[in-house]
Chain A
């Protein structure tokens, strides 16, 4: 395994998928990662229906118009998390904490995200978290800025 960055150890877990995955140009999720590259948190929405479409879709589920993306503030409620202790994903160092959060200004949207393990003792369901951005690196060496969360 290649050397892991010291600060963040968040890497793709399925090397077989890497050649097919270009986050910035992903057909549906690309704008999420493009926004993250500029330290923005963005979600898919329908401006006509004023309804967030999450997970992203090309067209609104109600009016069929083409969707767009909107920036959100970055505060979110912690719905739940797990501390992963066994290396089920061989390229991610344990322990690590994947979580599901609901942005305060986008109720009903649920983001899968990441909380640094240094906060593991502080976590309680429904606490408010704040977005932060940091680099993740894939096993083939690509780097992306990724939204992550810390206690607010």
Chain B
């Protein structure tokens, strides 16, 4: 397949006056995901972050049929919790290899963009087998009062000087404010919004890894929950969890020699709002930068939204999932409330039936808050046909990553 130029991708992605796609070169088809692994996901567990990361890596390598000594690349997250370093890896596995290392991996948007960086590193022969891993112990940290997802936001100088005095912090308030506007502009209702946590909870109920698999969420129970920051109730806000996940990437030719069928990285996109990192300054309050990243990834993968069979959407809040589903063009902008309320996110509502199965593991709302990396793991399992809530005939998948001011898109497909 010939490589697409940046100008072609840029043209396909389109232009907007409130943000833009970051130019990512075409790496479609070059690398594949060959192994996935996870720890158990829990509330406060006192587990060590690095130990969880190593456990997830062990599982991913076993899944791939790759020996620890064959790994020569490691990607982790910067700035979130205490992540693994190459020496930790060598010490644990008793190996001595050189390891190409990047802190631009992990979860959130980086669970998608790491695939682009990995493809570039593999192409440059800086590494050949790269593990992306993310571990988080925020449930334990919350119990100890030592760290929380809002810490970065509270430390940013202009947020602390112009937003915190008014109590616009932490993140639930940001997206509650945005969701309120969505309801005003498009008539989205509470009951429509409820379809997101309710559907994801249904998925969790039949997924062995989901922390909330035994807690049913009927509509009546949802509506009875008190508001946290209206229109968000508890069920609209992500869990706080302990756990880790990892996936292994290598060149697609090499992937075909691994233990499991390759899941090919077909496209990657990344978008950012004007005015980043201040989402209070976002000029389009009812949308997300997924608006910019998804078309870029679709163009790289040579697909349209109609070709996608299953998605994993960063659902830190129900409203951010709703807006990203719109921004990925699975329905008209503003029609998301009606669309999700019709049950279209359920794993049995395949594309043939007019749906788009979403967060079939339960998502950040009902599976675990590992910041999106388990969304990618779940999509790999879907494309291998081994998911707990298997989408029939799934061949193309997309992950929507999100930080707030940035979003990313990872298109995966079965090997041809």
Physical interaction between A and B: yes
Q: Which residues of A contact B (CB under 8 A)?
A: 10, 12-14, 16-17, 21, 23, 26-29, 32-33, 54-56, 79-86, 88-89, 92, 96, 98-100, 108, 110-114, 124-126, 136, 144, 146
Of the A-B pairs whose beta carbons lie under 8 Å apart in the complex, a sample of 13, sorted by A's number, is: A12-B165, A27-B157, A28-B158, A28-B161, A29-B162, A32-B161, A79-B285, A82-B176, A82-B177, A82-B229, A86-B227, A88-B229, A98-B166
**Chain B 160-177 interface residues, beta-carbon cutoff 8 Å to A:** 160-170, 172-173, 176-177
A55 to B157, CA, bound (A): 11
Contact partners of B231 in chain A: CB under 8 A: 82
Shortest distance from the beta carbon of A90 to any chain B beta carbon, whole Å? 11
Contact partners of B229 in chain A: CB under 8 A: 82-86, 88
Contact of B387 with A by CB under 8 A: no
A27 to B157, CA, bound (A): 9
A134 to B178, CA, bound (A): 26
Q: Which residue of B lies closest to A109 (CB)?
A: B281
A120 to B162, CA, bound (A): 22
Contact (Cβ within 8 A) B164 A125: no
Which of B155, B165, B172 contacts A88 (CB under 8 A)? B172
A125 to B165, CA, bound (A): 22
Contact of B184 with A by CB under 8 A: yes
A96 to B164, CA, bound (A): 13
Contact partners of A112 in chain B: CB under 8 A: 162-163, 166, 168, 280
Contact partners of B281 in chain A: CB under 8 A: 54-55, 110
Contact (Cβ within 8 A) A98 B161: no
Contact of B223 with A by CB under 8 A: no
Contact partners of B275 in chain A: CB under 8 A: 55
Which of B161, B172, B278 contacts A21 (CB under 8 A)? B161
Contact partners of A86 in chain B: CB under 8 A: 226-229
Contact of B283 with A by CB under 8 A: yes
Q: Which residues of B contact A (CB under 8 A)?
A: 154-155, 157-158, 160-170, 172-173, 176-178, 180-181, 184-185, 226-232, 275, 278, 280-281, 283, 285
Contact (Cβ within 8 A) A82 B180: yes
Contact (Cβ within 8 A) A98 B167: yes
Contact partners of A114 in chain B: CB under 8 A: 166-167
Q: Which residue of B lies closest to A26 (CB)?
A: B161
- Given the known inter-chain contacts A12-B165, A82-B230, A125-B184, please indicate yes or no for A17 contacting B160, CB distance below 8 A: yes
Contact partners of A27 in chain B: CB under 8 A: 157
Q: Which of A21, A84, A111 has the most CB of B within 10 A?
A: A84
Contact (Cβ within 8 A) B230 A83: yes
Contact (Cβ within 8 A) A21 B160: yes
A110 to B157, CA, bound (A): 17
- Given the known inter-chain contacts A55-B158, A108-B283, A144-B165, please indicate yes or no for A80 contacting B177, CB distance below 8 A: yes
Contact (Cβ within 8 A) B228 A81: no
Contact (Cβ within 8 A) A80 B278: no
Contact partners of B278 in chain A: CB under 8 A: 55
Contact partners of A13 in chain B: CB under 8 A: 154, 164, 167, 169
Contact (Cβ within 8 A) B181 A83: no
Which of A16, A23, A55, A108 contacts B165 (CB under 8 A)? A23
Q: Which of A10, A14, A98 has the most CB of B within 10 A?
A: A98
Q: Which residue of B lies closest to A147 (CB)?
A: B166
Q: Which of A82, A83, A84, A144 has the most CB of B within 10 A?
A: A82
- Given the known inter-chain contacts A88-B170, A112-B163, please indicate yes or no for A98 contacting B154, CB distance below 8 A: no
Contact (Cβ within 8 A) B157 A83: no
List the 4 closest A-B pairs by CB distance, nearest first: A125-B184, A29-B161, A82-B176, A80-B181
Contact (Cβ within 8 A) A89 B167: yes
A26 to B287, CA, bound (A): 32
Shortest distance from the beta carbon of A37 to any chain B beta carbon, whole Å? 13
- Given the known inter-chain contacts A79-B285, A81-B180, please indicate yes or no for A100 contacting B226, CB distance below 8 A: no
A83 to B167, CA, bound (A): 11
- Given the known inter-chain contacts A32-B162, A82-B229, please indicate yes or no for A96 contacting B180, CB distance below 8 A: no
Which of B162, B169, B285 contacts A55 (CB under 8 A)? B162
Given contacts A80-B180, A114-B166, 18 further A-B pairs with CB under 8 A are A10-B166, A13-B154, A13-B164, A14-B169, A28-B158, A55-B278, A80-B178, A82-B173, A82-B180, A82-B231, A84-B173, A85-B229, A86-B226, A88-B229, A98-B166, A112-B163, A113-B166, A114-B167
